[in-house]
Chains A and B, each alone.
Chain A
Amino acid sequence: MSTTPVPVTTTTASPWLRIRAVARRHAYVLQRAPQRWFDVVVWPVVDAVLFGAIGVYFSRQSGVGDRGVGFLLAGILLFHVVFQAEVSLATGFMEETWSRNLLNLLVTPLREVEYVAGVVLFGLAKLAFSITVVSTVAFGLFAFNVSDIGLALIPIIAILLVVGWAVGLIVIGLILRVGQGAEILAWGLLAMLMPLSGIFYPVSALPGILQPIGKVLPLTHLFDAARSVLDGDGLPWDELGIAAAGSVVLAIAAAWFVVRMLATFRSRGYISRHM
């Protein structure tokens, strides 16, 4: 029997190794699970076609020209940034529960933050692919060019990613706490925020009772900022600042929440639900 020494790197030196391993694990899953492409490509394309067509129809009816189409397509395209960021993180974690891999991971040197970084890393790759496809569809079918938003697109997308990851962490925390019953929130939580965040319309279009809720959501201010840029009014830094501050507060709250839920998970022995 050979006892050739196997090179082992130290745990402090190998976070990147572990982050890459997590990202690669999820790449294998996507490669072998065609149904996962629905979240990545099919739904975003369906939404782009649907909202683009609605925009064209109402623009013709009201005679406002292409502005309506641009608002709707920019709204759905940017919404898919936050949605993909959130769904990638949440379903990445859910994959571990579905395949009963959680205990295998929890006994390795993998740190929680490294796991999240690995899933986020692969999520970014998926997001880049998804947004490229949807942007191409929007441009090809409706002559909408998302790059018309210009450099303002960079901070807008950065804030959308932070919000998406924060909501993903909240979903993971809820799954850790209550189990698989919370899985629907991976898709449902953002769907609930969608109408309140004024993705396609200013928050003033909401019923009066819902407007205060909409105004405290960072996404509302972000989509207002995007519409302002599309209108040619320049980037409203105050709206962007409110959105950025709100997203940071949300991210801190989400990180605190998931850490607390993980402590509860360990303390109450909820791993038994996944063994």
Chain B
Amino acid sequence: MRVAAVCDTHSMPSAPDVLRARGLVKKYKRIQAVDGLDLTVGAGERVALLGPNGAGKTTTLLMLLGVVSPDAGSVEIKGHHLPRHRSEAAAHVGFAAGYLPLPERLRVGEFLRLFGQLYGLSDPKPAVELGLNRFGVAHLADAMGNELSSGQRTLIGIVKATMHRPSLLVLDEPTASLDPDVALRVRTGLNRLCADEGTALLVTSHNMIEVERMCERVVFISSGRVVADGRPAEVAARFGRDDLEGVFLHLAEEREGA
């Protein structure tokens, strides 16, 4: 049985949107990666984009970031339309992914200062120090990028993504393969950042417990379509499951049976 979309975003408190995506479609050869996806993220809102492997999460994120062009649909960030105003839109967005390494032959501090300038910081040093302190990694400033553990790399990637005080922080699997203590530090740092600066968060994760702790809204996608959108407990209840993990497993089974 195919689930109908379960969406209750109308009951969510309204906030001016930092991200608006309408009717996104992406097909790679014969694979329909994303199929008419709508997504909005309000200012300061913390949203998780969830779904089984191959559901279209990363393709969706890459379209929202302007790295992949959609076959159809539109993306608007803080009023800037992609692709025409990609550079202006990107200034309001930070992106980090657990799978991205730091470039070789750069010290952490150099890497962060360079990216601070790419994001328009005329003097990136204060933002670098603030970011390193926020995530408890100030001691890594002089380390070479290729000397870091995967957890440290992830933390530095998030510092890079937040130095310019973005309105929207997009994270793809930020805590994948991290130790629980490092994952906790990531969550704590992100919660503090969102609370301090009103940053909106759009995050993908396969860790449903983490999502329930971090996000006030979840958007489940399957086969490139939104199948549920609402508060975690409400979405779980609507699928007749106890928690998000139950919803996730249900969608994964459905996908395998399709």
- A contact residues vs B (CB 8 Å cutoff): 1-14, 17-18, 20-22, 24-25, 28-29, 31-33, 96, 98-101, 103-111, 263, 266-269, 271, 275
Known interface pairs A6-B163, A28-B105; A268-B115 also in contact (CB < 8 Å): no
Q: Say whether B79 faces chain A, with CB atoms less than 8 Å apart.
A: no
Assess whether B67 is in contact with A266, with CB atoms less than 8 Å apart.
yes
- B contact residues vs A (CB 8 Å cutoff): 26, 28, 33, 59, 62, 65-69, 83, 87-88, 90-91, 93, 95, 97, 99-101, 103-106, 110, 114-115, 117-123, 126-127, 130, 133-134, 160, 163-165, 192, 196-197
Q: Given the complex, which residues of B lie within 8 Å of A11, measured CB to CB? A: 87-88, 90-91, 120
Assess whether A271 is in contact with B99, with CB atoms less than 8 Å apart.
no
Assess whether A103 is in contact with B120, with CB atoms less than 8 Å apart.
no
Known interface pairs A28-B110, A33-B105, A267-B69; A6-B165 also in contact (CB < 8 Å): yes
Q: Given the complex, which residues of B lie within 8 Å of A5, measured CB to CB? A: 165
Task: Tell me, in angstroms, the Cα distance from A14 to B117 when the chains sit together.
Answer: 8
The closest CB in chain A to the CB of B99 belongs to A275
Q: Given the complex, which residues of A lie within 8 Å of B88, measured CB to CB? A: 11-12, 109
Task: Tell me, in angstroms, the Cα distance from A106 to B97 when the chains sit together.
Answer: 13
Assess whether A99 is in contact with B91, with CB atoms less than 8 Å apart.
no
Assess whether A109 is in contact with B91, with CB atoms less than 8 Å apart.
yes
Assess whether A271 is in contact with B163, with CB atoms less than 8 Å apart.
no
18 pairs from A and B in contact (CB 8 Å cutoff): A1-B196, A3-B197, A6-B126, A6-B127, A6-B130, A8-B91, A8-B121, A18-B117, A18-B120, A21-B115, A25-B106, A33-B105, A103-B97, A106-B66, A107-B67, A107-B90, A109-B91, A275-B97
> Which 10 residue pairs of A and B lie closest in terms of their CB atoms, listed nearest first?
A21-B117, A32-B105, A99-B103, A6-B127, A108-B118, A107-B95, A266-B69, A109-B87, A101-B103, A109-B90
